[in-house]
């Protein structure tokens, strides 16, 4: 998928532009203080075309911090982006900071669009031509505050995106994610039955996302090893920030995410944070408890672990757990069974007639509660998207949808259809709403 990177000095409006392009909060999969100043990674949808979007935050505040921060941002731009949006402030003259960024981007040999923000009237649009001085052929005006110029920008960014399925798009791609040193690389080696990636007891050995193609039961798959994702406040090195962004991109590009938990150290809050990234990205999900060879009483510990997992991850009861040992390769193939199931359910399409029968039966069993003398009516339901499945409910008044009734409808959908291993989206629209 095409990748677009926002880059520029602080306070030129990059985060506001990012939010305008993303539109839906569900598309945002990382908000991590210590990595960047604001949201980092998202997916933009426009006219059935998609691309990844990175907000790099302010590159530098003054020349003294330029050398330290520019290396990380330059690496992101060079290695990840197909197109770079160089954001400048249309109310100010070109600064020395803008010129330093210009020099770095010239060396990247990537497509660069100078995005002049804060231009919301004719007089300000005259300032647009001043920014051709930066030496890039494409200069566009936007106003994030007033939502101006974004249709033209999106047309430009999606012009070269072709909606066609490549051979690799048909191959199930899944990634292992989790904290450092939980055994992600060892699991891949055990799955492949060979030493394909570097394994070490030192946390943080994997610095990059590594793709490996393999065959299982005569079908091709791609597995991705990712760097350990440290919790906020513990990301010190620039290279670790860069590795984290690689891991986030691996989540975005994968069909299924396998969250790896260490049976020795147990579950911690950060495991839930990592899982939330995968859910927000709409991916199929499997939870894998590794290092099962270290437990003292497998039968009793299995009961205890299942209970703990069900309590700790009660907000995602649809996710299945596997208990494996990369060291002994015990039950290692159970990973593939759950990955394939999550993948298929994440792409599941349900016939509209059957879907409406299920919803009609659900409403008959339990009517929506009334509010101030009004009651929710569901006229029609259809599935709009897959990956993950998205169901649109056409109703009389979407403001009458109580969260408990929405949860009830989701449970009924999951009872009627096999949707294990995947999040689903329920959207409510008023009858005449576009």
Structure tokens at 392: 């649109």
Interstrand relation of 210-216 and 219-225 (parallel, antiparallel or unpaired): antiparallel
| 325-340 pLDDT tens trace | 999 999 998 999 999 9
Numbers of helices and strands, H then E, in the chain: 12, 17
The tokens for 14 are 């990059």
pLDDT tens string 36-72: 333 356 778 888 888 888 877 665 545 444 445 445 5
Average pLDDT over residues 76-102: 86
More confident residue, 319 or 79: 319
When pLDDT is averaged across residues 236-245 and rounded to a whole number, the result is 48
Query: What percent of the chain has pLDDT above 90?
Result: 50
**What was the pLDDT predicted at 58?**
62
Range name among 9-18, 227-236, 356-365 with the lowest pLDDT average: 227-236
Q: What is the rounded average pLDDT of the residues 342-359? A: 97
Determine contact, residues 395/379, Cβ cutoff 8 Å.
yes
pLDDT of residue 305: 95
Total Cβ atoms within 10 A of residue 151: 10
Compute the distance between CA of residue 174 and CA of residue 342 in angstroms, rounded to an integer: 10
The share of the chain scoring above pLDDT 70, in percent, equals: 80
pLDDT for residue 202 is more than 50: no
* Per-residue pLDDT at 89: 93
pLDDT, mean of residues 264-286: 91
Q: Which of 310, 289, 313, 315 is nearest to 407 (CA)?
A: 315
Task: Find out whether 153 and 115 touch, Cβ atoms under 8 Å.
Answer: yes
Tokens (6 digits) for 265: 């150290």
Question: Whose CA is closest to 84, among 58, 100, 105?
Answer: 105
pLDDT of residue 236 exceeding 60, the answer is no
pLDDT value at 34 more than 50: no
Distance CA(342)–CA(76), nearest Å, equals 31
Query: Tell me, what's the pLDDT at 61?
Result: 45
Dihedral sign (CA 176, 177, 180, 182): negative
Q: Confidence class of residue 27 from pLDDT cuts 50, 70 and 90?
A: very low
The more confident residue out of 195 and 202 is 195
**162 C-beta neighbours (distance < 10 Å), count:** 7
pLDDT number for residue 209: 53
Give residue 362's pLDDT.
Answer: 97
Q: What is the pLDDT of residue 175?
A: 94
pLDDT in tens, 366-390: 999 988 889 999 999 999 999 999 9
> Whole-angstrom Cα distance, residue 30 to residue 244?
10
Return the HEC string of 331-375. CCCHHHHHHHHHHHHHCCCCCHHHHHHHHHHHHHHCCCCEECCEE
Q: What pLDDT score does 235 carry?
A: 40
- Mean pLDDT value across the chain: 83
Most confident of 105-109, 159-163, 247-251, 346-350: 346-350
Q: From CA 25, how far away is CA 151, in angstroms rounded?
A: 19
pLDDT digits (tens, 9 = 90+) for 66-82: 445 445 555 655 667 89
Q: DSSP string covering 108-129, please? A: HTSEEEEEEES--SHHHHGGGG
Q: CA 66 to CA 58: how far, in whole Å?
A: 10
Tokens of 406: 């929405």
- Residue scoring higher pLDDT (365 or 225): 365
Angle between helices 334-346 and 184-192 (to 10 degrees): 100
Say yes or no to pLDDT of 411 above 70: yes
Residues with Cβ within 8 Å of residue 135, at least 6 apart in sequence: 102, 106
pLDDT (average), residues 167-179: 82
pLDDT of residue 121: 77
pLDDT of residue 60: 55
pLDDT at 155 over 70: yes
Highest mean pLDDT among 79-88, 178-187, 223-232, 254-263: 254-263
pLDDT (average), residues 390-416? 96
Using CA atoms, how far residue 148 sits from 6, 48, 116, in Å, is: 17, 21, 11
The pLDDT score that the predictor gives to residue 194 is 63
3-state secondary structure of 31: coil
Question: What is the C-alpha to C-alpha distance for residues 374 and 368, in angstroms, rounded to an integer?
Answer: 10
pLDDT at 271 over 50: yes
Pick the closest to residue 409 from 369, 353, 349, 351 (CA basis).
369
Which of the four pLDDT bands, split at 50, 70 and 90, describes residue 417? very high
Between 365 and 240, the higher pLDDT residue = 365
- Per-residue pLDDT reduced to its tens digit, 302-314: 999 999 999 999 9
CA distance 7 to 53: 11
């Amino acid at each position: 998928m095409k990748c677009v990177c926002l880059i520029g000095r602080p306070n030129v409006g990059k985060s506001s532009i990012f939010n305008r392009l993303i539109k839906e909060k569900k598309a945002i999969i990382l908000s991590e203080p210590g990595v960047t100043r604001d949201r980092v990674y998202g997916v933009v949808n426009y006219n059935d075309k998609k691309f990844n979007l990175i907000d790099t935050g302010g590159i530098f505040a003054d020349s003294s911090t330029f050398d330290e921060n520019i290396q990380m941002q330059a690496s992101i731009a060079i290695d990840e982006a197909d197109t770079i949006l160089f954001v400048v402030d249309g109310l100010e003259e070109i600064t020395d900071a803008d010129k330093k960024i210009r020099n770095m981007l010239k060396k990247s040999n990537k497509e660069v669009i100078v995005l002049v923000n804060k231009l919301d009237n004719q007089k300000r649009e005259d300032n647009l031509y001043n920014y051709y001085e930066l030496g890039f052929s494409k200069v566009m005006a936007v106003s994030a505050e007033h939502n101006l110029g974004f249709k033209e920008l999106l047309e430009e960014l999606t012009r070269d995106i072709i909606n066609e399925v490549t051979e690799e798009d048909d191959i199930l791609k899944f990634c292992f994610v989790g904290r450092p040193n939980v055994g992600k690389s060892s699991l891949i080696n055990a799955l492949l039955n060979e030493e394909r990636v570097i394994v070490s007891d030192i946390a943080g050995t994997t610095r990059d996302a590594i793709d490996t193609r393999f065959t299982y039961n005569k079908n091709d798959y791609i597995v991705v090893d990712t760097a350990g994702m440290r919790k906020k406040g513990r990301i010190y090195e620039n290279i670790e920030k860069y590795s984290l962004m690689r891991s986030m991109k691996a989540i975005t590009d994968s069909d299924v995410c396998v969250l790896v938990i260490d049976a020795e150290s147990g579950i911690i809050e950060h495991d839930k944070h990592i899982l939330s990234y995968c859910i927000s990205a709409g991916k199929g999900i499997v939870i894998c408890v590794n290092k099962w060879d270290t437990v003292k009483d497998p039968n009793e510990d299995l009961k205890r672990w299942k209970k703990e997992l069900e309590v700790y991850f009660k907000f995602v009861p649809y996710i299945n757990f596997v208990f494996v040992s990369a060291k002994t390769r015990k039950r290692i193939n159970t990973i593939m069974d759950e990955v394939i199931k999550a993948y298929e359910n994440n792409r599941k399409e349900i016939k509209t007639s059957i879907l409406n029968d299920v919803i009609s039966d659900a409403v008959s069993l339990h009517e929506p509660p009334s509010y101030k003398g009004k009651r929710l009516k569901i006229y029609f339901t259809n599935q709009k998207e897959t990956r993950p499945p998205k169901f649109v409910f056409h109703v009389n008044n979407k403001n009458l949808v109580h969260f408990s009734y929405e949860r009830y409808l989701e449970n009924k959908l999951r009872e009627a259809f096999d949707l294990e291993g995947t999040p689903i989206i329920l959207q409510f629209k008023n009858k005449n709403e576009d």
